[in-house]
């Protein structure tokens, strides 16, 4: 299903850098590149070779940039079409000028994700592999990257294809029953086989969804709200974990007026840290808005890090926060360990604080943070997780389709136990088979493809 026109786009991030890449794909990619390339005749060079030369303006002959140009002839390319990659000098102006020249030669500006879409339409990758390319680009930890690479290599595709093959074999036997209804024992056998296959496939889907819980963490990160009253060390914690001065730290209460978000990597687990404004009663309008945002962040968080000042007695706001978070996943830091302690573990016991929720820290000395990291890892993965345990990252689309497939298979199991005719049971069974096909793109509508690929980077 090769596309008629030739597309072009910048494939590297815009900005200053050593190298920028302009990519072309299509049946006229080599011809168009040849019009703007001063060097070897690209129509005569072997595939998968790279050549030194200059990009020129095809109308004036003026030199635009010094480049290295790669030639990859289809079908041995990412899109299975002829591909040209022009490595030019990095920088916004240089790369844009090279792109302008190939567009001037006749190429069309690619839409977001169009290279990956062509790879899918031409059978180079399936839909789950295409989505894995964006996961790879957006990976926030090494483990997330490994999972994306596994999925890009077809780990999820192979699993789904295997399940669909198992279901297809059962469907083929059911067709025999429908064609020869006079054999009652055959219908009973087919009903039993539908039941067994539905249960088997449902169990395997359940395993995939269970792994998806870890995958969701790697994909999206753990929404972690750092809360507490002013000047207990929240912003200091954010700065230490990020290794940067992301938040202003002063002795003045109410310095942080808004929520500050930053991703950090804690033992391979991505945290989306939200440093909130200190929660207290205030008449200052801007600070009030910050406090409201803090409370909203607290409600939506997957993890709460509640910071208390152990050198002072509990205040009303501290008690309110302890009460508000008692049913949430939380870790309580008794900060300022470097000062004489006033607040003790025994003091917190009446407020429902569990021993395993408490960690004593000092942001000044950066002590206790290793225990915090260990606690976070244990909370979400019950200890260290092996890289190979996560083979793919399921997105919302995958999860929804798998859950719908389980619902259809439940209908199959229930129908077989009620002795409903096989041809009716087959409808739900086939629906589950189609839903699994939507994950890999074997049964998917054009509108969905357009929506999915529109979310990709331009040039990918």
Quote the CATH superfamily of domain 7-125.
Answer: Probable tRNA modification gtpase trme; domain 1 (3.30.1360.120)
Q: Two tokens at 250?
A: 């002063």
HSE-up of residue 53 (Cα within 13 Å, Cβ side): 19
Q: Within the chain, which residue ranges are assigned CATH 1.20.120.430? A: 133-217+395-441
**Other beta carbons less than 10 A from residue 374's beta carbon:** 15
Contacts of 270 (CB under 8 A, 6+ apart): 140, 141, 144, 217, 218, 220, 221, 222, 263, 264
Strand partners, 9: 23
303, 330 in Cβ contact below 8 A? yes
pLDDT at position 452: 67
- Give the DSSP letter string of 354-398: -GGGEEE-BTTTTBSHHHHHHHHHHHHHSS---GGG------HHH
- Residue 300 burial (C-beta neighbours within 10 Å; 0-12, 13-18, 19+): exposed
Whether the CA torsion 317, 318, 323, 328 is positive or negative: it is positive
Q: Within the chain, which residue ranges are assigned CATH 3.30.1360.120? A: 7-125
Q: Two tokens at 247?
A: 């938040």
pLDDT at position 455: 66
Q: Which of 405, 340, 428, 446 is nearest to 163 (CA)?
A: 405
Note the pLDDT tens digit of each residue in 184-229: 555 667 888 899 999 999 999 998 887 766 666 666 678 888 888 8
pLDDT at position 214: 64
H or E stretch at 21:
strand 19-25
Note the pLDDT tens digit of each residue in 386-399: 444 566 667 778 88
Q: Is the pLDDT of residue 403 over 90?
A: yes
Three-state DSSP state, 134: helix
Note the pLDDT tens digit of each residue in 245-260: 443 333 434 444 345 6
Q: Give CA–CA dist 226/260, Å, rounded.
A: 10
Q: Give CA–CA dist 318/308, Å, rounded.
A: 7
Three-state DSSP state, 48: coil
Q: Within the chain, which residue ranges are assigned CATH 3.40.50.300? A: 223-385
Strand-by-strand arrangement of the 303-309 sheet: 260-266, 269-275, 222-227, 303-309, 330-335, 358-360
Rounded alpha-carbon distances, angstroms, from residue 241 to 95, 111, 219, 362: 36, 38, 20, 13
Per CATH, the number for 223-385 is: 3.40.50.300
Q: Give CA–CA dist 331/2, Å, rounded.
A: 55
Note the pLDDT tens digit of each residue in 361-372: 999 888 999 998
Note the pLDDT tens digit of each residue in 34-76: 999 999 999 999 999 999 999 999 999 999 999 999 999 999 9
pLDDT at position 295: 67
Higher pLDDT pick, 325 / 9? 9
Cα 162-168-171 angle, rounded to 5 deg? 150
Higher pLDDT pick, 196 / 141? 196
pLDDT at position 413: 93
**Other beta carbons less than 10 A from residue 189's beta carbon:** 15
Length of the chain: 460
Percent of all residues in the chain with a pLDDT value above 70, rounded to a whole number:
77
Average pLDDT, the chain: 81
Q: Is the pLDDT of residue 85 over 50?
A: yes
pLDDT at position 127: 82
Q: Is the pLDDT of residue 148 over 50?
A: yes
Say yes or no: domain 133-217+395-441 is CATH 2.30.40.10.
no
Q: Give CA–CA dist 154/400, Å, rounded.
A: 20
């Amino acid at each position: 299903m090769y596309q008629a026109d030739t597309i072009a786009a910048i494939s590297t991030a815009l900005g200053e850098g050593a190298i920028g890449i302009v990519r072309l794909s299509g049946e006229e990619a080599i011809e168009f590149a040849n019009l703007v390339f001063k060097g070897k005749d690209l129509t005569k060079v072997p595939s998968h070779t790279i050549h030194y030369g200059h990009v020129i303006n095809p109308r004036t002959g003026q030199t635009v940039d010094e480049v290295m140009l790669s030639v990859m002839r289809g079908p041995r390319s990412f899109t299975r079409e002829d591909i040209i990659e022009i490595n030019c000098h990095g920088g916004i102006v240089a790369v844009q000028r090279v792109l302008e020249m190939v567009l001037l030669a006749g190429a069309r500006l690619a839409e977001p994700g169009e290279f990956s879409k062509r790879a899918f339409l031409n059978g180079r990758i399936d839909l789950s592999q295409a989505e894995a390319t964006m996961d790879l680009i957006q990976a926030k930890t090494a483990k997330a990257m490994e999972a994306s690479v596994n999925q890009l290599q077809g780990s999820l595709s192979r699993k789904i294809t295997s399940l669909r093959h198992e279901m297809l074999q059962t469907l083929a036997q059911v067709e025999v029953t429908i064609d020869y209804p006079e054999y009652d024992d055959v219908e009973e056998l087919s009903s039993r086989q539908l039941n067994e296959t539905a249960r088997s496939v449902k169990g395997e889907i359940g395993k995939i969804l269970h792994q998806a819980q870890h995958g969701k963490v790697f994909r999206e990160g753990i929404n972690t709200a750092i809360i507490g009253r002013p000047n207990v060390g929240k912003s200091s914690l954010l700065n230490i974990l990020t290794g940067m001065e992301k938040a202003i730290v002063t002795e003045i209460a109410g310095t942080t007026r808004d929520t500050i978000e930053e991703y950090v990597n804690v033992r391979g687990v991505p945290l989306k840290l939200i440093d909130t404004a200190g929660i207290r009663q205030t008449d200052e309008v801007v600070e009030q808005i910050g406090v409201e945002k803090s409370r909203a962040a607290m409600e939506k968080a997957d993890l709460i890090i509640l910071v208390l000042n152990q050198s002072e007695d509990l205040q009303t706001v501290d008690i309110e926060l302890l009460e508000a978070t008692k049913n949430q996943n939380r870790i309580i830091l008794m900060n300022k360990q470097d000062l004489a302690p006033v607040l003790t573990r025994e003091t917190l016991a009446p407020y429902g604080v569990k021993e395993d929720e408490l960690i004593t820290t000092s942001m000044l000395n950066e002590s206790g943070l290793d225990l915090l990291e260990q606690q976070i890892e244990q909370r979400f993965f019950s200890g260290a997780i092996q890289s190979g345990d996560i083979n793919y990252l399921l997105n919302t689309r995958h999860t929804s389709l798998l859950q719908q497939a389980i619902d259809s298979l439940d209908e199959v199991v229930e129908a077989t136990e009620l002795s409903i005719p096989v041809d009716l049971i087959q409808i739900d069974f086939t629906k589950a088979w189609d839903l699994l096909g939507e994950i890999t793109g074997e049964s998917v509508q054009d509108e969905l493809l357009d929506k999915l690929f529109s979310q990709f980077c331009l040039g990918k």
